[in-house]
């Protein structure tokens, strides 16, 4: 019996039931291997290596599902919406990653399966690209489609990410929005495009800016460079800067500290270095620091009040949704 793992990898990470049968497996053996975790059942008739699945992030698991959908779906489709964004490497937050999104390019109808949304819509061939051998909607169109089916906050995270990566431009996004203006969800897309800013360095920073907006608080400058007056040496770049209140802000996420870790360092080394950087910036700007975490984003009223106190303003609670 052939090694199924090598076969799976040779077939883009997914193997089909009939291919396993051809290799000599029975349905009972396949079921036993799934129960043991050797294989993972992606969807009916499609499997991947169990260890690969268990070690993958939710975003990676979504893409494995997309491979399973492609291998088990007849007809001409292009991955779109949330799935297209993940294939382009664009940040996605607040979306249902259990469902794969594909747009029909043939005569197939709009429908929902247990794990797939089949969309219909006019897509020009110029809006299609190949990503790892898969047919995918290009970033700008995918961003508008995605923003139309998720919350404003979730849409903003992805649009900011794509702008920062240089995968889309504001003018192109507005033009695509105009072309899709009669579609459902475009009022949310309008807000996303009004508030987008490609200077956000992460999903957390974008969500923080969204919280400030919804609380009616002043919107800060982003990625503010702080240099030592005496030498011109760059001390750091703050995530947020409220000049009038002399307050700078930093989003603290575990991913951020992992990204800043040098070879051989422990997490504590990064925290100490970041604390030293913060002290230098605070002294140079004669300012206070507002720190924001993932947990803070889930407590908008409490977090908004804390920032409002530092800024010396009154939040508009009625704008929080």
pTM of the complete model: 0.88
Whole-number pLDDT of residue 129? 97
220: tokens are 């800060």
Alpha-carbon gap, residue 299 to 277, rounded angstroms: 27
Domain identity same for 71 and 190: yes
| Domains: count for the chain | 3
Kindly write down the DSSP assignment for every residue of 156-211, as one continuous string.
HHHHHHHHHHTS--HHHHHHHHHHTTTSTTHHHHHHHHHH--TT--SHHHHHHHHH
Asked if 165 contacts 146 with a C-beta cutoff of 8 angstroms, the reply is: no
* Enclosing domain of residue 29: 4-55
Residue 1 has pLDDT above 80, yes or no: no
* Strand arrangement, sheet containing 221-227: 221-227, 234-242, 247-252, 288-293
Domain identity same for 186 and 149: yes
Domain identity same for 48 and 136: no
Domain identity same for 92 and 21: no
Last residue of a domain, one of 151, 178, 195: 195
Q: What's the whole-number average pLDDT of the chain? A: 89
Last residue of a domain, one of 195, 215, 243: 195
Last residue of a domain, one of 166, 195, 224: 195
202: tokens are 């992460």
Domain identity same for 141 and 102: yes
pLDDT tens digit sequence for 209-227: 999 999 999 999 999 999 9
pLDDT tens digit sequence for 299-313: 999 999 999 999 999
pLDDT tens digit sequence for 120-151: 988 999 999 999 889 999 999 999 999 999 99
Whole-number pLDDT of residue 258? 47
Other Cβ atoms closer than 10 A to 16: 15
Domain identity same for 186 and 79: yes
Give the pLDDT band of residue 186 (cuts 50, 70, 90). Answer: confident
Domain identity same for 189 and 222: no
Domain identity same for 128 and 252: no
* Residue 274, domain CATH: 3.40.960
Domain identity same for 87 and 107: yes
Domain identity same for 155 and 257: no
Domain identity same for 68 and 189: yes
Whole-number pLDDT of residue 3? 56
Domain identity same for 283 and 263: yes
């Amino acid at each position: 019996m052939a090694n199924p793992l090598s076969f799976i990898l040779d077939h883009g990470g997914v193997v089909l039931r009939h291919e396993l049968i051809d290799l000599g497996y029975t349905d009972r053996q396949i079921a036993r291997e799934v129960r043991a975790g050797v294989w993972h059942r992606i969807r009916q008739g499609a499997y991947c290596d169990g260890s690969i699945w268990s070690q993958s992030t939710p975003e990676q698991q979504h893409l494995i599902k997309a491979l399973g959908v492609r291998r088990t779906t007849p007809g001409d489709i292009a991955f779109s919406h949330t799935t297209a964004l993940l294939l382009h490497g664009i940040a996605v937050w607040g979306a249902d990653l259990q469902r794969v999104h594909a747009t029909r390019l043939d005569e197939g109808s709009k429908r929902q399966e247990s794990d797939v949304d089949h969309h219909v819509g006019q897509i020009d061939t110029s809006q299609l690209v190949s990503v790892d051998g898969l047919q995918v909607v290009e970033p700008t169109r995918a961003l508008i489609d995605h923003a139309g089916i998720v919350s404003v906050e979730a849409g903003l995270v992805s649009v900011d990410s794509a702008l920062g990566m240089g995968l889309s431009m504001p003018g192109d996004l507005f033009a695509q929005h105009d072309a899709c203006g009669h579609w459902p969800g475009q009022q949310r897309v309008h807000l996303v495009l009004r508030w987008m800013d490609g200077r956000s360095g992460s999903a957390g920073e974008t969500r923080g800016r969204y919280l400030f907006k919804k609380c009616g608080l002043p919107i800060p400058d982003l990625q503010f460079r702080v240099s030592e007056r005496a030498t011109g040496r760059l001390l750091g770049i703050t995530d947020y800067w409220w000049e009038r209140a002399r307050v700078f802000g930093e989003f603290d996420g575990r991913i951020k500290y992992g990204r800043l870790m040098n070879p051989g360092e422990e997490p504590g080394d990064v925290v100490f270095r970041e604390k030293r950087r913060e002290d230098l910036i605070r002294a140079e700007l004669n300012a206070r620091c507002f720190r924001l975490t993932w947990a803070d984003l889930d407590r908008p009223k409490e977090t908004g009040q804390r920032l409002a106190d530092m800024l010396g303003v009154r939040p508009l609670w009625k704008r929080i949704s």
